[in-house]
Amino acid sequence: MHRIYAILYKEFKQMRRDTTMLRLLILLPIIQILIFGLAINTEVKHIPTVVFDQCRQQESRELIDVLVATDYYDVIYYASSIKEVNEKINSGEAIVGIIFPPDMVKNFKHGDNVPIQLIVDASDNMSASSAINVAQLAINKKAEQMQLSYNPNLVVGKYDLRIRAWYNPDFISANYIIPSIIGIVLMMTLIMVASISIVREKEEGTLEQLLISPLKPIELIIGKIVPYICVGYIQMIIAICVGYFGFNIPIKGSLILFILLTTIFMLAILSLGILISTVAQNQMQAMQLSFFVLLPSILLSGFMFPRVAMPDFFYYISMILPMTHYVEISRGIFLRGIGLEYLYQPTLFLIFFTIIVLSLSIWRFKKIYLR
């Protein structure tokens, strides 16, 4: 029995010495609970909406007020043409577009059905479904109220909500999940192996041999990154083939552009992995820190849950995650078929993120290993 106590004493003593690992083991569950409890919300509200009001009368303004009052719609822009509505939805600034016809009130009073067009970006199924269901209920209820407000003997029409689901009209979940899974797969593997690479060299005693060689820190880091980029290309090609041939995932945009932007994304996450390797003291710490980065990337990036449903704090936190911008890129190219003119913002973020994190990694490497 005393031998069991001895080994228990040894393990607890070792755990107390490794304070970084102990902090991670305690901090990770707290982070998970906070993210799941506060950030994740399947009830999508405050959906960015663009309105093209050709009627410009009290009735159309009241309909807009009814939709906004539900808290499910936030009107971010009033368009002056259908082209502007299309641009706002293509760019991702708006998820919903509402178009009122010019003769809406006259037709309603004459007993005709009034077509109101609702355009939704169905590349995010959850947001699109919420937008459609709430719009149908709100507009039907408003139509009933308007019927009561007119002369009872007057035969009035109805609002005919015509829904156009763009990019994923059949609401197939695989169509919007699989393009983003490519980023998750790359993160799960590349950030893990990159974070372990330098730590493993240190534990095996081969890092000292590399340090006394003529290699510069930037050359050493590039040598660590490039092989994993090749592995990432293999994973990406396999994922694209499985998605296209196995699940009939559409590729509406440029595949060359997708590969190019995925390369920038891989550089970003590999740079982050190298930075983790300069912080971690052993391989276990490197794995824990990688998981610490991976979990928010899955939950806050919009891969599983719409970002518009998150509280403002977590919404802005998600903007510093490379995965958030890669989700926008992958769905934009695969489902929307858009080009760099709409994707330049997430692309620039990934480029700046890579430059900053890689520079920080080189600085920490020099500070720790070249003193």
Domain spans in the chain, listed from the N-terminal domain onward: 1-39+172-370, 47-166
Instruction: Say if residues 118 and 131 touch (Cβ distance below 8 Å).
Output: yes
Percentage of residues of the chain with pLDDT beyond 70: 82
pLDDT category of residue 346 using cuts at 50, 70 and 90? very high
**The tokens of 12 are what?**
């607890």
Least confident of 22-26, 128-132, 191-195: 22-26
pLDDT value at 352 more than 90: yes
In a 13 Å sphere around the CA of 40, the CA atoms on its Cβ side amount to 15
pLDDT value at 216 more than 80: no
Amino acid at residue number 80: S
Instruction: Say if residues 125 and 168 touch (Cβ distance below 8 Å).
Output: yes
Report pLDDT for 327: 93
pLDDT value at 6 more than 70: no
**Mean pLDDT: which of 18-27, 80-89, 120-129, 152-161 is highest?**
80-89
Top CATH class, 47-166 = alpha beta
Q: What is the 3-state secondary structure (H, E, C) of 301-357?
A: CCCCCCHHHCCHHHHHHHCCCHHHHHHHHHHHHHHHCCCHHHHHHHHHHHHHHHHHH
Long-range contacts from 125-129, C-beta under 8 angstroms, 24+ separation: 125/168, 125/171, 125/173, 125/176, 126/42, 126/44, 126/305, 126/306, 126/309, 127/44, 127/47, 127/95, 127/306, 127/308, 127/309, 128/95, 128/165, 128/168, 128/171, 129/171
Least confident of 21-35, 180-194, 237-251, 279-293: 21-35
pLDDT value at 170 more than 90: no
Closest CA to 347 of 251, 268, 234, 229: 268
Closest CA to 118 of 183, 57, 49: 49
Q: Note the Cα 112 to chain centre separation in Å.
A: 43
Q: Count of residues for the chain?
A: 371
**Mean pLDDT: which of 35-49, 118-132, 237-251 is highest?**
237-251
Buried-exposed string 291-308: b where 16+ CB fall within 10 A, e elsewhere: eebbebbbbbbbbebbbb
